[in-house]
Amino acid sequence: MKAYWYDNLPGDQREPHDSGRAASAEQLSKLGILHYHLPSRADVDALARERGYKNRDEITISPATMGAAAYEAKVRAFFDEHLHEDEEIRYILDGAGFFDVRSRGDDWLRIRLERFDVMVMPAGIYHRFTTDDKNYTKAMRLFKDDPKWTPLVRGAETEENEYRKEYVKMRDGAAVEAH
């Protein structure tokens, strides 16, 4: 994993957009982001048990598996800023991708995840996702209960969302243990 401040320069979203300013594990922790590097499925299973994840699936995001038009549409949709009402956990099985998350000051932090990286994002955090310029990410998605895929696109309504309000309260008042 590599985390840094997004450069906000024009260009393809799949490019690194690395500002040269690193983001620390402590900064991510203050946003509620957890990161692990787990090369063993047994370690992933242990983390799933520890965090109460009962369900999982795998997704491969690439033009070869989805078709070029469907892939481009999906990557554009993933890149719309949104939140979920569930904690989001992703385990990268192959390839790589970027998760962008909003800082307390509403700037983007970019997190590059590669094979065997696990990231946990809290419910209510604004974020977006894209593959890198190799256009290939295979990931395991883990869920506490049945998966809820509803992305809530950022707007006035999401600011009043109970999960968003809980997240902001957590972010502004506490940190989680950094890994």
Domains of the chain, each with CATH number or no CATH: 2-165 (2.60.120.10)
Q: Mark the binding-site residues, compressed into ranges.
A: 82, 84, 88, 127
Share of the chain above pLDDT 90, in %: 91
Q: What is the pLDDT of residue 174?
A: 57
Instruction: Report the Cα 159 to chain-centroid distance in Å.
Output: 19
Query: Is the pLDDT at 149 greater than 90, yes or no?
Result: no
- Evaluated on CA atoms 98, 102, 168, 29, the torsion sign reads positive
Q: Is there a contact between 178 and 25 (Cβ–Cβ < 8 Å)?
A: yes
Averaged pLDDT of the chain: 94
Query: Is the pLDDT at 170 greater than 90, yes or no?
Result: yes
Q: Mark the binding-site residues for Ni(2+), compressed into ranges.
A: 82, 84, 88, 127
* Cβ neighbour number for residue 156 with a 10 Å cutoff: 6
Query: Is the pLDDT at 176 greater than 80, yes or no?
Result: no
Cα–Cα nearest to 91, from 57, 61, 122:
57
Taking the C-alpha atoms of residue 69 and residue 123, their distance in angstroms, rounded to an integer, is: 30
Query: Is the pLDDT at 7 greater than 80, yes or no?
Result: yes
Identify each DSSP E strand in the chain by its residue range: 2-6, 18-22, 34-37, 55-61, 82-83, 88-102, 108-114, 117-121, 127-131, 137-143, 152-153
CA distances from 65 to 4, 29, 40, 133, 147 (A): 30, 34, 25, 16, 22
Q: Is there a contact between 98 and 129 (Cβ–Cβ < 8 Å)?
A: yes
Query: Is the pLDDT at 175 greater than 70, yes or no?
Result: no
Cα–Cα nearest to 129, from 179, 87, 90, 176:
90
- Please report where in the chains the tokens 């799949």 appear, as a residue: 14
Cα–Cα nearest to 34, from 4, 59, 60, 3:
3
Q: Mark the binding-site residues for Fe(2+), compressed into ranges.
A: 82, 84, 88, 127
Q: What is the pLDDT of residue 147?
A: 73
